[in-house]
Structures are given as C-alpha cells and as structure tokens.
C-alpha cells in the first residue's frame, strides 16, 4: 500500500509524536507493507521527483491508497488559501485533489479533524470534514473516499501513535472500521480519559485539589477535562508508561472538537463551586446530591492523601 502524508496548517507535532513511537516505526511500515511516498520528516526526494510523483497520482499513473493530512486546511485570506502554499499553489487545492484520488483519507490530529489552532477568522482553517463539531469542513459532509469511508478522524494534540498504528493495521488487513458520529475510530475514542485514571477514587469522593503536585482530583478546580473527553490516554499510555493525569497534569481535552478552549486551561469554570460541564451521561440534579454525600463519606486515607500499597 502507498501512503502520502501532507502537512498543512499545523505545528508538525503529530509527526513528532509518531517519530517518538515506542515501536520501531520503520519496522511497522515494513511489516504492514506500506510504502511511504512522501512524509516531510522521513523523505528526502528532490523537488522535481516530488512534483512528478504528485502529477502521477493526479493523472492516475500512481495509485494512492492512504492520504494522511496533518494540520488544518488553511483557506485564508478571503478563501484564496494563499496563507499556506505548496509548490507555488494554495495547498488547499492539492488537498482536495489528493483526497479524491485516495482509497482512505485520514485526518491526523485535532487540527486536521476539527480545525483546532488556526481556525480563526484570519487563517480561516478548518478540518477535512468537520469544522469543530459541525459536519462539513473543507471536503463537505457528503465526501467519501474511494473505499466508501468518509474522512477518518484521529484527533489529538498531538495524536497518540497507537491510534494511527491500529488504524493502519485495520486498513491493510481489510477490516471493517467502526466509526463514531464524529468519524473517529470507535475502539479508541469511545473511552474517556477519566476511565483508567489513577485519581478516580479521589474524584468519586470529591477529594479536590486546588494546587498541583497532590494526588487528589483535578476536575473540580484545576480544569481537568478527563471526564468529558473521549480518548484512550489511560488505556494506551504514552510510551507505555504515563499519561497527563497520572503525571499530575490536568487533561486538556485535546481530542475534543472545541479544542483549544477559550477559557483558561488550569481553571474549572463553575457556578457556586459546581463545574459547568459535568461528566458525560451525568444529570446535574443527581450529581449535586450524590457529590455532597460522597464528600461526606470520603475515607480518611483519601482526605489525608495516603497512598495504598
């Protein structure tokens, strides 16, 4: 299978994350029999050969199996795309052409999936098939690749390398790919960051932290979005070792369509001490009653932050 990777309006963080994969990246591509036609951090072909390659893809002389886009599609200024050009042309034009030729189109990272950084009026960036949570984006809500799938979104800032490796394995083996309503792969993005978090017991008993470097829950004061963010950071640990919440850093909600948020990252927005956004599937009235009782029943070992052996 042949893969072409293009960077658009982004910081290259997803590529850097992939290069730091705990697996042997080149061995993975070899085992999956994936030929990388172009990746800005892995390829060293000349400008002339690169241009000829693109021409061959667009002329159907070279088959394109997988098209990966990193970063959002920059449409500014005034829908010209001239804020982000490639070989002298607006990059958005090439993105549209390559997407129509590929069997699978993958939005790598939150910017490519939902717009992310740069989705403001000046840059006018957008995701491939979503603009934040609104379906449509750059390619339109009816777009489907040659395989029959819509754009497959792999949000994250940056992407977790495991998500891409799992998807590529499914593609290569011809497996059915189950997608959520946000077109993310279900086996990864139906979990919340809260699931598997080592601070869960503190959360259940409302043992709260207002400063960093403690063991308690960071949801109530420090802006943690773990209970409201769908990602597998505590299922597939980063470098198979750690995650933000395990390291004592609040979840930023970086896989969410509304990332980055407009409010401060390390402060929970609340009304009289109750978070404005509650954990997924939780009713506000029941939440208020339950949390007051849970806080009153909190074991002393949790209040005193005594770690169990």
Q: What is the pLDDT of residue 307?
A: 64
Tens digit of pLDDT for each residue in 113-143? 999 998 877 889 999 999 999 999 999 999 9
Q: What is the pLDDT of residue 309?
A: 43
Delineate the domains of the chain, giving CATH numbers in brackets.
2-187 (3.40.50.700), 191-309 (4.10.480.10)
Whether 208 contacts 220, CB under 8 Å: yes
Tens digit of pLDDT for each residue in 154-184? 999 999 999 999 999 999 999 999 999 999 9
Instruction: Name every residue whose Cβ is closer than 8 Å to that of residue 8 and which is 6 or more positions away in sequence.
Output: 69, 70, 71, 72, 73, 74, 84, 91, 92, 95, 111, 112
Q: What is the pLDDT of residue 308?
A: 55
* HSE-up (13 A, CA, CB side) for residue 272: 1
Q: What is the pLDDT of residue 303?
A: 86
CA distances for 184 relative to 69, 230, 252, angstroms:
15, 10, 18
CA distances for 155 relative to 4, 107, 127, 166, 267, angstroms:
19, 8, 10, 14, 23
> What is the average pLDDT across 51-70?
98
**Rg (alpha carbons) of the chain, rounded to whole number:** 21
Q: What per-residue string of b and e applies to 257-284 under the rule 16 or more CB within 10 Å gives b? A: bebeeeeeeeebeeeeeebeebeeeeee
State the Cα–Cα distance between residues 210 and 218, nearest whole angstrom.
8
Q: What is the pLDDT of residue 260?
A: 94
Tens digit of pLDDT for each residue in 10-42? 999 999 999 888 888 888 899 999 999 999 999
Mean pLDDT of the chain: 93
Q: What is the pLDDT of residue 13?
A: 94
Closest CA to 73 of 111, 125, 116, 117: 125
> What is the average pLDDT across 44-64?
97
State the Cα–Cα distance between residues 36 and 189, nearest whole angstrom.
26
């Amino acid at each position: 299978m042949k893969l072409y990777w293009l960077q658009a309006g982004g910081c290259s963080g997803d590529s850097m994350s992939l290069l730091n994969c705990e697996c042997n990246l080149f061995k993975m591509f070899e085992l999956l029999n994936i030929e990388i036609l172009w990746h800005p951090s892995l390829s060293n072909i000349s400008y002339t050969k690169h241009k000829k390659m693109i021409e061959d893809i667009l002329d159907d002389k070279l088959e394109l199996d997988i098209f990966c886009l990193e970063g959002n599609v920059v449409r500014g200024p005034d829908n010209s795309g001239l804020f982000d050009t490639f070989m002298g042309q607006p990059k958005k034009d090439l993105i549209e052409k390559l997407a129509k030729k590929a069997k699978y189109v993958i939005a790598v990272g939150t910017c490519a999936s939902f717009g992310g950084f740069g989705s403001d009026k000046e840059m006018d960036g957008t995701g491939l098939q979503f603009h934040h949570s609104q379906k449509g984006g750059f390619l339109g809500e009816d777009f489907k690749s040659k395989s029959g799938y819509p754009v497959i979104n792999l949000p994250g800032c940056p992407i977790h390398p495991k998500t891409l490796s799992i998807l590529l394995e499914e593609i290569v083996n011809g497996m059915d790919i189950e997608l959520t309503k946000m077109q993310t792969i279900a086996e990864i993005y139906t979990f919340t960051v809260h699931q598997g978090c080592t601070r869960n017991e503190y959360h259940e008993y409302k043992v709260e932290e207002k400063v960093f470097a403690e063991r308690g829950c960071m949801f109530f004061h420090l802006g943690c979005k773990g209970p409201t963010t769908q990602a597998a950071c505590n299922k597939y640990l980063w470098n198979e070792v750690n995650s933000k919440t395990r390291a004592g850093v609040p979840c930023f909600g970086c896989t969410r369509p509304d990332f980055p948020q407009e409010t401060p990252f390390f402060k929970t927005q609340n009304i009289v001490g109750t978070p404005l956004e509650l954990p997924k599937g939780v009713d506000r009235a029941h939440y208020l009653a339950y949390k007051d009782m849970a806080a009153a029943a909190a074991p002393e070992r949790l209040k005193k932050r005594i770690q169990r052996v």
